[in-house]
Chains A and B, each alone.
Chain A
């Protein structure tokens, strides 16, 4: 292809039929005088036709199957019937349920965060279950001569006397 460099772009526009009338007239005058551009035009036109044919094949290469229309109409009617069988209030009811649930969750009293406790002060949350009235006594070991339970003084004296007598 030996088209004039100056005309190359316009030549392609001309081959595609996109040059305005005045410019197309000038191009025709040039083509009558320039064998290179005339040959290039023939080549561009051949390529254009091949491209158009290829585009046609790529787009029109398949046909809808014979039963397509009947299938589509049946599917559309079935889908519409399914939509109608769901009562209109079902959606509203579901929405109300969701809102109520969300509300309940949001309204739940928040657990107040506990202030931090040092490890030495920490007690098991179930500690109180193990408490007994005699806790204080059980935790302290009596020294020699002491009793676990305080005895009334009079009784202690009489015990002493009894021992002496015996």
Chain B
């Protein structure tokens, strides 16, 4: 127990981890939530992914103190966790042949049909294109932010985004 008290005291003295961490979470929670929701299409699951992302971030917070680094890191981890969860869900869907509702309930019927088509086409895209497309649609993420999150050059982000949108437009013609 004394080890815990000492460790906590030293971590608090060293950098006041909790207040800084809370500030980073406040700054990035919408982004993390949207990344997860974009992949999963389910608010409850997106929340679980977001929570898991921040728990991981807390453990590594000593190396993520810089805000830009934190933003890129949480977007990357949220994307990875959400994609993993989606793969698991697809396996379960195949096994249980259950229907999973993913459309926003508030949208009118015609829009919902179109959203379903768009989602289906997005899911057909190769993962590299899909990741760029989804991250680019997240609020406040420009090509540079997407590039930092995926650890690829900004030029690659722009070209992949163009290819993805072109494929979608042609598929939805």
Chain A residues in contact with chain B, CB under 8 A? 12-13, 15-16, 18, 44, 47-48, 50-51, 54-65, 68-69, 71-73, 75-77, 79-81, 84-85, 87-88
Residue numbers in B under 8 Å from A65 (CB-CB)? 47
Choose from A57, A81, A87 the contact partner of B107 (Cβ within 8 Å). A57
Contact between B115 and A72 (Cβ–Cβ < 8 Å)?
A: no
Contact B118–A54 (Cβ < 8 Å): yes
The residue in chain A whose Cβ has the minimal distance to the Cβ of B5 is A84
0 or 1 for each of B1-30: is its CB under 8 Å from A? (1 = yes): 101100110000000001001100110011
Docked-complex contact B21 and A73, CB < 8 angstroms? yes
Q: What residues on A are CB-neighbors of B35 within 8 Å?
A: 59
B interface with A by C-beta (< 8 Å)? 1, 3-4, 7-8, 18, 21-22, 25-26, 29-30, 33-35, 37-38, 41, 43, 46-47, 50-51, 54-55, 58-59, 104, 107, 111, 114-115, 118-119, 122, 133-134, 137-139, 162, 165-166, 168-170, 172-173
A81 to B18, CA, bound (A): 12
- Name the contact of A73 in the complex, choosing from B25, B111, B169 (C-beta under 8 A): B25
> Which residues of A lie under 8 Å from residue B107 when comparing CB positions?
57
A64→B47 contact, CB < 8 A = yes
Contact of B133 among A13, A44, A55, A68 (CB under 8 A): A55
Interface pair A58/B38, CB less than 8 Å apart? yes
- Chain B residues whose C-beta falls within 8 Å of the C-beta of A77 in the assembled complex: 18, 58
B25 near A69 with CB under 8 A, answer yes
